[in-house]
């Protein structure tokens, strides 16, 4: 099948279903449909309207209007157990693929501390090289950890200033300012003022 947006010949599985059409499929591929939806939402958001319905002004400090927020909450509350399990499984898979993409961009699942060389991905984490993680998490928003941070990095084309470290090396750098495995790797610690009593 040919997508009418990107003009690529793709397998039928790359097209969403549309029962009323002759082929039973949509006339654009899933990737183009996602891009179309995302660009529509950004356009409505830039115009100062709810990005869900595009009609009303969003609620203060939100991107959606009150009726759309309520409708989404009602739909979320009415999910069946099977639907909930399916969504959770899909969300975990999306988060895993995003994490793999971020780690690949910063050197793969290997600790940047050469003497350590930890390769078990369960022990690895993303480190702010300059030691400004707290400040950066405030810029990213929503806690600035995990998938929130990974999405920010992907959106900004994986900027420099990050590396993969094991939890031990990251903890040592954060609390001591150096890594015991490689004393040459140092981070300037912020000076904490003494509390006056």
Taking only the tens place, the pLDDT of each residue in 112-157 is 888 888 899 899 999 888 888 888 888 888 777 888 999 999 999 9
Q: How confident is the model at residue 187 (pLDDT cuts 50, 70, 90)?
A: low
Taking only the tens place, the pLDDT of each residue in 9-54 is 999 888 988 888 888 888 899 999 888 888 888 888 888 899 888 8
Kindly tell me if the per-residue pLDDT of 192 is higher than 70. no
Kindly tell me if the per-residue pLDDT of 4 is higher than 80. yes
pLDDT, mean over the chain: 86
Dump the DSSP string for the chain: -B-TTT--B--GGGEEE-TTSSSSEEEEEHHHHHHHHHHHHHHHHHTTS-TTTSSSPPPTTSSS-HHHHHHHHHHHHT--HHHHHHHHHHHHHHHHHHHHHHHHHTTSSS-SSTTT----GGGEEEEETTS-HHHHHHHH-TTS-HHHHHHHHHHTT--SSEEEEEHHHHHHHHHHSEETTEEEEE-PPPPPPPPP-
Residue range 60-83: mean pLDDT, rounded? 87
- φ/ψ of 110, rounded to 5, equals -145, 135
Select the more confidently predicted residue: 80 or 183: 80
Question: What pLDDT does 194 receive?
Answer: 38
Select the more confidently predicted residue: 23 or 101: 101
Q: What is the pTM of this model?
A: 0.61
Kindly tell me if the per-residue pLDDT of 196 is higher than 70. no
């Amino acid at each position: 099948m040919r997508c009418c947006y990107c003009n690529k010949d793709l397998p039928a599985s790359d097209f969403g279903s549309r029962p009323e059409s002759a082929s039973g499929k949509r006339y654009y591929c899933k990737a183009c449909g996602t891009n179309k939806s995302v660009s529509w939402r950004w356009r409505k958001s830039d115009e100062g309207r709810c990005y869900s319905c595009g009609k009303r002004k969003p609620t203060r400090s939100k991107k959606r209007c009150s009726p759309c927020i309520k409708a989404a909450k009602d739909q979320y509350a009415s999910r069946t157990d099977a639907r909930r399990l399916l969504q959770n499984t899909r969300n975990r898979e999306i988060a895993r693929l995003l994490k793999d993409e971020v780690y690949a961009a910063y050197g793969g699942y290997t600790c940047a501390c050469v003497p350590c060389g930890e390769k078990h991905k369960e022990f690895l984490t993303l480190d702010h090289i300059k030691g400004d993680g707290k400040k950066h998490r405030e810029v990213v928003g929503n806690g600035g950890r995990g998938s929130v941070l990974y999405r920010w990095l992907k959106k900004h084309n994986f900027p420099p200033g990050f590396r993969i470290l094991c939890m031990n090396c990251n903890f040592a750098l954060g609390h001591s300012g150096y890594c015991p495995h490689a004393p040459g790797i140092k981070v300037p610690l912020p000076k904490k003022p003494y509390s006056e009593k």
